[in-house]
Amino acid sequence: MSEQEEFFAGISKIPYQPTAGPGDVMCFKHYNAEEVLMGRTMEDWLRFSVCYWHSFCGTGADPFGFQTLHRPWNKGNPMESAKRRLCAAFEFFTKLGVKYYTFHDRDMAPEGSTLKESNMNLDEITDLALQLQKQTGVKVLWVTCNLFAHPRYMNGAATNPDCHVLAYAGAQLKKGLDIAKKLGAENFVFWGGREGFLSMHNTDVSAELKHMANFFKMAVKYKEKIGLKCQFLIEPKPKEPCRHQYDYDAMSVIGFLKHFGLENHFKLNIEPNHTTLAGHSYEHDVVMASVFGMLGSVDANTGSPDLGWDTDQFPMDIRNTTMVMKTVIEQGGLQPGGLNFDAKVRRESTDLEDLFIAHIGAMDTFARGLRNAVRIIEDGIITDKLKERYSSFSHGLGQKVEDGSATLEDMEDYIQQNGEPNVTSGKQEKYESIFNHYI
């Protein structure tokens, strides 16, 4: 294998061409990395990241059909393929102009027949990853351990009824944290793929939740021991593969973390396709996590409103990205998190250039969202209206409610003096019309 081998021949660094026409899809028309908006470059606001598993390991197979995506890097034995894949990925990151990537331990290097062998594979491939990171300046947004695909985890990892399986997950996680340190990962994600249940009859929910919390506590302890400086993130998802997953949505995870005293050690990685699976609107969990100071990162993708599963499509809806970016700006950015494209090209999108087109389209969609959100915030019309809507809390009794000093006796006195409140319009359509002005 030659590190110089070019996998995306004929494609050079993707340029910013704001005047390009509708048919030009191999350039950015909105994402201008160096442009400064509200005191920060677009690159810093957006912190884009490419995910390894979909974009470089995805085969296009689905439960009804075989592989459709045949990638040139899959050649030779599994370790040779892993190295070629990594070189292809870094060529892609560089040509696309994205500074971060994310991966699972098992998509970076193949699992061996023992833990020792798996760890050796991971050591060897991550040596190359470190070298490519140094050469290109591309960094790891987050690492995660795949604690859901191997058959040993079919009844759960941290929530498995057999402690022997939990121990395997712990051993795998220990290595994952070492790898995060080695590669300078800025975050570490826990997605509980099999942490949930299919039937309540065979499940001790209380025990499983406690085991999961204790598993996280072991992770926190080991992180501190090795001096790993990264943000831990939990990624909520309500269902699929389990019928019910413990990390159902943002509020369930926040409740879990607070219940077990873990809230200072974790934030959330919100994936909007998971949010909509939970029956919420696209931006719901981004907003809820942010309100609680727990929004750490975003798996920037989308589902199909007419499909009830996790389709992991590239986000192409400007309204949605505007809502997300408004929240991101209002909380002062996502750093050390980012916008990770946990998204896959459709199994029918079989050309190599489709990988570029998908990422460029999604990056431009978020860039437009960012530009729109900046205009909304700088114009301040919605903010002013909102301030006015809640203005009764800025003085008198309202202020006492605001600071927590009001009593029910105060409420009674107030009503005895002031009687029935006025009817006030909520003006929803007015807000919606103003919002649409910016889209």
Residues that bind ligand XUL (CB under 6 A): 104, 144, 189, 191, 235, 237, 271, 299, 310, 342
Question: How distant, in Å, are the alpha carbons of 233, 237, 395, 420, 432 from that of 392?
Answer: 37, 38, 6, 15, 23
| Token representation of residue 325 | 């970016």
Question: How distant, in Å, are the alpha carbons of 41, 224, 333 from that of 34?
Answer: 5, 35, 16
310 binds, among Co ion, ligand XUL, none (CB under 5 to 8 A by kind): ligand XUL
Least gap, CB of 237 to ligand XUL (angstroms)? 6
Least gap, CB of 236 to Co ion (angstroms)? 10
Q: Is 271 near Co ion (CB under 5 A)?
A: yes
Least gap, CB of 233 to Co ion (angstroms)? 10
Least gap, CB of 192 to Co ion (angstroms)? 12
Q: Is 195 near Co ion (CB under 5 A)?
A: no
| Token representation of residue 431 | 């807000």
Residue-wise DSSP of 11-27: --PPPB-TT--TT--SS
| Token representation of residue 296 | 């750490």
Q: Among residues 112, 114, 140, which one has the least CA distance to residue 126?
A: 140
Coil vs helix vs strand at 249: coil
Least gap, CB of 324 to Co ion (angstroms)? 15
Residue with tokens 């460029």: 360
Site for Co ion in 278-307 (CB under 5 A): 299
Kindly tell me which of 249 and 299 has the beta carbon lying closer to Co ion. 299
Kindly tell me which of 186 and 310 has the beta carbon lying closer to ligand XUL. 310
83 binds, among ligand XUL, Co ion, none (CB under 5 to 8 A by kind): none
Contact, 310 vs 241, CB < 8 A?
no
Bridge partner residues of 269 (DSSP): 297
| Token representation of residue 90 | 């870094």
Kindly tell me which of 91 and 235 has the beta carbon lying closer to ligand XUL. 235
Kindly tell me which of 99 and 237 has the beta carbon lying closer to ligand XUL. 237
Q: Cα 436–437–438 angle (5° rounding)?
A: 90
Query: Half-sphere exposure of residue 14, counting CA atoms within 13 Å on the CB side?
Result: 30
Query: Half-sphere exposure of residue 204, counting CA atoms within 13 Å on the CB side?
Result: 9
- The answer to whether residue 104 is catalytic is yes
Kindly tell me which of 161 and 241 has the beta carbon lying closer to ligand XUL. 241
144 binds, among ligand XUL, Co ion, none (CB under 5 to 8 A by kind): ligand XUL
172 binds, among ligand XUL, Co ion, none (CB under 5 to 8 A by kind): none
Residue of minimal Cβ distance to ligand XUL: 191
b vs e for 55-86, b when ≥16 Cβ sit within 10 Å of the residue's Cβ?
bbbbebeeeeeeeebebebbeeeeeebbbbbb
Contact, 353 vs 11, CB < 8 A?
yes
| Token representation of residue 148 | 């859901």
* Selected range binding Co ion among 95-103, 170-178, 270-278, 390-398, rule: CB under 5 A: 270-278
Least gap, CB of 30 to ligand XUL (angstroms)? 26
Q: Is 312 near Co ion (CB under 5 A)?
A: no
Least gap, CB of 285 to Co ion (angstroms)? 12
Residue 48: which H helix or E strand, with range? Answer: strand 48-51
Kindly tell me which of 28 and 188 has the beta carbon lying closer to ligand XUL. 188
Q: Cα 139–142–145 angle (5° rounding)?
A: 130
Residue with tokens 């070019």: 6
Whole-angstrom distance, CA of residue 421 vs CA of residue 415: 9
Kindly tell me which of 15 and 308 has the beta carbon lying closer to ligand XUL. 308
Whole-angstrom distance, CA of residue 405 vs CA of residue 154: 51
Kindly tell me which of 14 and 253 has the beta carbon lying closer to ligand XUL. 253
Contact, 181 vs 169, CB < 8 A?
no
Site string for Co ion, 336-355 (x = CB under 5 A): ------x-------------
Where are any strands of DSSP class E within 108-261?
A: 139-144, 187-190, 196-197, 231-234, 244-245
Catalytic one of 30, 54, 104, 274: 104
Least gap, CB of 52 to ligand XUL (angstroms)? 10
Binding region for Co ion (CB under 5 A) = 271, 299, 342
| Catalytic site positions | 104
